[in-house]
Structure 1
């Protein structure tokens, strides 16, 4: 199993990416696991908070590209697409713990999380244009809102990487936490949320994210349409071939 799913008595559901040999690259099977877990959690009143994490040394190197490309059209049946919509729709708080690499979806997924804690020296990067592709997960909407247009262009057009201190400064990460304490720290924050009245927390999240969530759904659809077109382009195919050859 590449996603370990655990739940404690306090109502904290923890989703742990566990594919260390691939630096937690997310496979189609992992996307299915994550989507199903979030769907069940949204219906289960015993689940108050979700923690999304990798290990204390790696969060995720992004999509498993070979696996991703085998899944066909980017429609509602594509495991990655289903996960993106479910992540945006999720009404309960999500706490993320990030260490090491957070590439592609490893960064854009954080834009949908409510609290994000990261170890020192993380590498955040959204190298979509470098692969001949465009932003996904509504990052073309959410990142400019968070950091401003010019900085968003720096990270989405140039695909430049940034570290934990920069992520904290721009507001993507709440706090830097020592890697040895990271997972426990995030679990404690999730427990604090779980101990609060659940309806109050969920209604507060709805007020904070409601308007953005509705816009994000539309932006995800638009991004996927463009992404699918670019994926078939000669430029993208050349970049992907170069990526696989380099690996």
Structure 2
């Protein structure tokens, strides 16, 4: 797909300045990450305090590893002769998160000093032109107006090469439940993708996406449709 899912955008923590260690063991089956970051938004180099964001991530994959970076290449353009898979989980804690949102009662809340916890679980699978991946998210902002506010979401995506190495059809469903955080009750997305690969890799391809986004508001629904086309060449 051309763009990330709505759920990925909602729970994304952006790039931040920090330090991270990572590695692979057990014939590249076990992959681990540990990191500490300044906790600010991207493009902010100064920290200004001693509070940070901490992350930990573990991933288990097939012998020899899932491939070039988990999550970097979703489609099975190489037409894998053996099943490739990974199951991963991550947790983060940010003790100075920036938040701004509207509660269901209409009150606006904005703070740059909120403790926030994220949990993520995901899987990926590839085999003979078929690919599937999914992620589930949960996030809690602690002590907002005297209570904790949580939201959750997920996406599931799949694709198959009708013409091996060349033409792929893909689809995705994404959902975000804002719980009590927003007066917008939920967001859901349905997307269809058509991808043509000029070579047997991701560096030269043409993509088309149709995306339908439904925003559920108490008493009404807002529906938007998007059409996107992208040609990608990388070298």
Normalised by the size of structure 1, how large is the TM-score?
Answer: 0.22
Structure 1 or 2: larger strand share? 2
Normalised by the size of structure 2, how large is the TM-score?
Answer: 0.23
Larger relative contact order (C-alpha < 8 A, sep ≥ 6)?
1
